[in-house]
Copies of this chain bind each other. A is one copy, B any other.
Amino acid sequence: MTETQLESIRKQLHEGGYKLTPQREATVQVLIENEKDHLTAEEIYLLVKLKSPDIGLATVYRTLEMLTELKIIDKISFTDGVARYDLRKEGAKHFHHHLLCLECGDIQEIEDDLLLEVEKTVERDFRFRVTDHRLTFHGICHKCQS
């Protein structure tokens, strides 16, 4: 599964005219292994350093920029100003949604596409051609409600 995902990404890079260098592969592996988290560039850098100790922070930033451009990952920032990176599900047409707990800071993902009806409304009432969306709910998660 992970093998397949990596190979698929390698192909996407080649199609975009990029090589999957060892540094880029290590970065992609970190993203795959932590796909449920929402890591910052710095966090990714520290994890990649374990696999590829000589990598520089700039390379990680450049790799993340390239992956974002290829729509392999999504760049998102929540309430703090820091960018976080999120692996796209294979074949996912739309970015998934998030639940941000204001109490503990946890970020939960929702895969369900809840916005089909809403998007139709927007397309019709505002004549806006929707290509993607960002939806985050702020609130209190189940754990913190006790």
Chain A contact residues, CB within 8 Å of chain B: 75, 77, 79, 81, 83, 99, 101-102, 108, 110, 114-115, 117-119, 121-122, 126-142, 145
Contact = CB atoms under 8 A, between A and B. Distances in A.
Contact of A127 (B81, B127, B145): B145
A134 B136 contact: yes
Contacts of A108: 126, 128
Copies in the complex: 2
A75 B79 CA distance: 8
Contacts of A114: 118, 121-122
Task: Rank and list the top 7 A-B pairs by shortest CB-CB distance, nearest first.
Answer: A127-B142, A132-B138, A130-B139, A129-B140, A131-B139, A114-B118, A134-B136
